[in-house]
Amino acid sequence: MTMTDNYECIAVAVVDGVATVTLNRPQKRNAMSPQLNHEMRDALGEIRYDNDIGVVVLTGAGDAFTAGMDLKEYFRDTEGDPVAFERVRDIAWEWQYNILRKMPQVTIAKVNGWCFGGGFTPLTSCDLAISADEATFGLSEVNWGIIPAGLVTRDVALAMGYRNSLYYILTGEPFDGKRAVETGLVNESVPHDELDARVDALAAHLKGLNPAVLRTAKETYRHSLDMDYAQAWDYTAAKALQLRSRDKEGGRRQGMTQFLDEKTFKPGLGAYARGTEADA
């Protein structure tokens, strides 16, 4: 199924429970304009409530993931009008952080090419990231007189660590997919002609897992990062209890039965055989 009729700057395709959302301004290297941000907010806002979608893949058309914010439409056209700038800034923030980062589905960034500047925010907001070896990354802001703003500085610090993030923030030097793996920015890097197959395989694996468990694991991870140990202990316990009521297929019960009673399941080597009965 495709959902492109209402969009000019993005394309959405849903196949077998996987939604692929493509930033679709290849002539601008998929730079994120106000219109693209509007469309992303709308599309992700619909996808997040679709129970038939278990995985969301974010990628770009052509030879780029995204070149970052559209400098003319996002910055130059709102210069001197702080209200207009706040409006376009808030819409970008809404989908790149509030929606994308908190999607109930697992999200995968498929970095097919250029990823610069503001593109690091949707990249790091995705749960997982697979890159082409040939992709080019860059925190190029310092080269033209600004800093990595929005959430970019904070997020690359969390993903890449102290030395790596500061090095690329301060030098503006580009780096490739293999180096992105070394810094922790992405999970894996593969040759470009293997990228689609690798992401498809990862999505298929994730679709085979219990969606309620994946959602709760994501939420627990995200929110416990800023807690002290006592708070994280209580929060994690509460999320485990929430999962038992949220999980309609009774994964905990099925997994324990298959492991302890039936001896058909080894948790360290794969997932339990998912049934359809609510056994919680």
Provide the residue ranges of all domains of the chain, joining segments of one domain with +.
10-207, 211-269
Closest C-alpha to 3, from 19, 24, 23, 25: 19
Residue 150, burial from CB neighbour count under 10 angstroms (0-12, 13-18, 19+): middle
Per-residue confidence of the chain (280 residues) as pLDDT tens digits?
555 568 999 999 999 999 999 999 999 999 999 999 999 999 999 999 999 999 999 999 999 999 998 878 677 767 787 877 788 788 889 999 999 999 999 999 999 999 999 999 999 999 999 999 999 999 999 998 889 988 899 999 999 999 999 999 999 999 999 999 999 999 999 999 999 999 999 999 999 999 999 999 999 999 999 999 999 999 999 999 999 999 988 888 887 788 878 888 888 878 888 875 444 4
Distances in whole angstroms, Cα of residue 83 to Cα of each of 74, 80, 91, 258: 13, 9, 13, 58
Helix (H, G, I), strand (E, B) or coil at 66: strand
Residue 1, pLDDT score:
52
Q: CB pairs under 8 A, 24+ apart, for 209-213?
A: 209/271, 210/247, 210/249, 210/251, 210/271, 210/274, 211/54, 211/104, 211/105, 212/243, 212/246, 212/247, 212/248, 212/249, 212/251, 213/243, 213/247, 213/251
Structure confidence at residue 279 (pLDDT): 43
Task: Check residue 74 and give its pLDDT.
Answer: 73
Q: How far apart are CA 30 and CA 46, in angstroms?
A: 22
Residue 3: the pLDDT is: 57
Q: What integer pLDDT is reported at residue 179 of this predicted model?
A: 98
What's 10-207's CATH class? Answer: alpha beta
